[in-house]
Amino acid sequence: MSDALATPTGLESHYAAQLAADLERNATEQERIGTEVQSLQEQLRALQRDRELLLKMQQLLDDGAAASVRQATARKARVPAPRETTPRTKRTAPKKAAAAKAKPQPKPKKPAEGPTLIELVRTHLGQQSEPRSAAEVTTALTQGHPDRTIKTTVVRTTLEKLVAKGQAQRTRQKNSVFYSTPDAPEQPKGADDGADTAAEKPESKD
């Protein structure tokens, strides 16, 4: 029985061969990594030498630039400033010119404004053959004077002022109010019979 234990079996031989292969592979890896480490160390030492050289060159350049600045400053200090030869009377001329330019220029006069709104409304009513409402008067004046802002409420107030002055008359047709000049027809075409009575008696203001 002791002889059987001493004789290696096939399984033990397999394990022994695998261990030998692992040991050889480990040694190979160590050798490869060692070679790479040695190469990296050499690269690191080369980079360090290059850095030292670059720092020395930078220091030399800085020293040279500083020396140039000092020399230029010394030359400027030795050169005297040129004397001023311009008479004092001439130096004041630019100031006077600047003061003259600084004076505010007179504002141009605004052109005379056109006719007032009350004149426009009165003229428009005189040109109509039939009474017109405040909205119709506003539309006509806006088209005739596009450069002016004309509102219906302002036109209605102006028409009422003309009525109060006797320069216009007011007629009512159902729920609408129409305006015309005193010598114009009192109601638009198609007005009902009750408009004449409303034209003779001015509408009472609330």
- Over the range 31-58, which residues count as b (16 or more CB within 10 Å of their CB) and which as e? eeeeeeeeeeeeeeeeeeeeeeeeeeee
What is residue 70's predicted lDDT score, i.e. its pLDDT? 83
- Quickly tell me which residue has 């409304």 as its tokens: 121
Tokens of 160: 């009422």
Between CA 44 and CA 60 the distance in angstroms is 25
Over residues 129-157, the mean pLDDT reads 89
Between CA 187 and CA 194 the distance in angstroms is 10
pTM for the complete prediction?
A: 0.36
- In sequence order, what are the residues at sequence separation of 6 or more whose Cβ sits closer than 8 angstroms to the Cβ of residue 159? 121, 134, 137, 168, 170, 179
Whether residue 3 is predicted with pLDDT greater than 60 in this model: the reply is no
The residue ranking higher by pLDDT, 91 or 23, is: 23
The residue ranking higher by pLDDT, 165 or 4, is: 165
Q: Does domain 117-200 have CATH number 1.10.10.10?
A: yes
Over residues 111-125, the mean pLDDT reads 79
pLDDT tens for 45-92 read 999 999 999 999 999 998 888 888 888 888 777 766 666 655 555 555
The residue ranking higher by pLDDT, 131 or 194, is: 131
Q: Which amino acid is at 38?
A: Q
Ranges 16-25, 29-38, 60-69, 95-104: which has the least confidence: 95-104
Whether residue 202 is predicted with pLDDT greater than 60 in this model: the reply is no
Locate the domains of the chain by residue range: 13-74, 117-200
Between CA 160 and CA 79 the distance in angstroms is 89
Q: Tell me if residue 170 falls in helix, strand or coil.
A: strand
Percent of the chain with pLDDT over 90: 28
Over residues 118-136, the mean pLDDT reads 87
Tokens of 8: 């290696």
Whether residue 109 is predicted with pLDDT greater than 50 in this model: the reply is yes
